[in-house]
Amino acid sequence: MATLPRTRPRNRRLVSRNTVAGWSFILPNFVGFAVLTLLPVVVLFYVAFTNWNVFGVADWTGTANFRRMWDDASFWTALRNTVYYAVFHIPLTLAAALGLALLLNRKLRGVRFFRTVAFFPYITSIVAIAVVWNQLFSPEYGPINALLGAVGVDNPPGWTASATWSMPAVIIVGTWRYMGYYMLLFLAGLQTIPAQLYEAAETDGAAPWQRFVHVTLPGLRHTTFFVTVLLTIESFKVFDLILVMTGGGPGQSTLVLSQYIYQKGFEENQFGYASAVSIVLFAICFGITVIQFMVNKRRNS
């Protein structure tokens, strides 16, 4: 982003008036953010160092919650599962969204219709998605396994009913749900690439693949970075999709960090410990985003 030009003294009154106007515009939103998000987040950092159990007082316990986490096998399982989800969900969604965007960026008959269709999963109720996909995945009666059986797969996977296949099933649905949203961001990015660049490349005899690698991808660099950051954060804090699809099961096979936080906090009333786990999740999201920004900055220069 370009920096604003430095203001001259005679403009100062105008600037202060603009500042007041600006603040008054964001105030309604900011008040809501401060009361409902910022304040709880600040309190969270205190609660994480206590043994607060919702009723009564919170005793200061220092780093006890974090030491407990170190020895807590379920925490590590949840962390492993979260990474498992992210490692597959991020590249798959990125590739699918970019592919869809390229496909729907042409002048086709009915392209608007297909763009809308691709966006539909994102605006569909997550509970409805979970119910329908669970039925599709049903190991004995579901159409997916019927299809696999028809093409000669003898021992089709148990999907959400099997500890081995539940995570892949959730990743598939997660990718399907979010690719439409990121496709929209990529479509917007594609509009910013000047058509002359493609024409010049074509005149120079570049093949479609070469045009993609040397014109489209560099032109989309900012969009790709933005999408990757959003996707990473979204993947690490995945919660609702897994909660309604598998509830973390079978066993702990799809238990992710945010669900573990919910379980410890709202089901077992260990709000101190749940807050400590949230801080770890926050640190992971924050750390990875910072690394992404640093890598991006180095590439830009």
Partner 1 sequence: MKRAIPAVISAATALTLVLAGCGGGDEPVDPNAPVTITLAGWSLSSTPEFKTLADGFKATHPNVTVELKEYAPGNDYDTQMITDLAAGTAPDVYVMKNLKNFYTYQSGGQLLDVSDTTSGLGSGPALAPYQVDGKAYAVPYRQDSWVLFYNKDLFAKAKVTPPDGSWTWDDYTDAAKRLHTGLKGAGSNATGAYQHTFQSTVQGFALAQTPNADLLSGDFGYLKPYYERSLDLQAAGAQPTFGTAKTNKLTYQAQFGKQQSAMLLMGTWYVATLLNQRKSGDADTFQWGIAPAPQFDKSTTGTSATPVTFGDPTGLGINPKISKSKTAAAKAFLKYAAGPDAGKALAGIGITPAQVSDAVTASLFGLDGVPQDDLSKFAYAKHTIKPENPVSKHTAGLQNLLNETHSAILSDSKGVDAELSKAQARAKNEVLNQ
Q: Which residues bind partner 1 (CB under 8 A)?
A: 46, 53-58, 60, 68, 71-74, 131, 134-135, 137-142, 158-164, 248-253, 255, 263, 266-269
Q: How far is CA 73 from CA 70, 76, 275, in A?
A: 8, 5, 17
The answer to whether 90 and 232 have CB atoms below 8 angstroms apart is yes
Nearer to partner 1, 189 or 272 (CB): 272
Nearer to partner 1, 132 or 207 (CB): 132
In whole angstroms, the minimum distance from the beta carbon of 158 to partner 1 comes to 6
Nearest alpha carbon to residue 243 among 230, 231, 256: 256
Element (H, E) at 87: helix 73-103
In whole angstroms, the minimum distance from the beta carbon of 135 to partner 1 comes to 6
In whole angstroms, the minimum distance from the beta carbon of 298 to partner 1 comes to 37
Nearer to partner 1, 266 or 293 (CB): 266
The answer to whether 129 and 177 have CB atoms below 8 angstroms apart is yes
Nearer to partner 1, 55 or 209 (CB): 55
The answer to whether 39 and 256 have CB atoms below 8 angstroms apart is no
d(CA 255, CA 248): 4
Amino acid at 193: I
The first and second tokens of residue 101, run together, are 């965007």
Nearest alpha carbon to residue 272 among 84, 57, 90: 57
In whole angstroms, the minimum distance from the beta carbon of 89 to partner 1 comes to 21
HSE-CB at 174 with a 13 A cutoff on CA atoms is 34
In whole angstroms, the minimum distance from the beta carbon of 53 to partner 1 comes to 7
Nearer to partner 1, 140 or 154 (CB): 140
In whole angstroms, the minimum distance from the beta carbon of 150 to partner 1 comes to 20
| Residue reference for tokens 């597959």 | 88
Nearer to partner 1, 68 or 211 (CB): 68
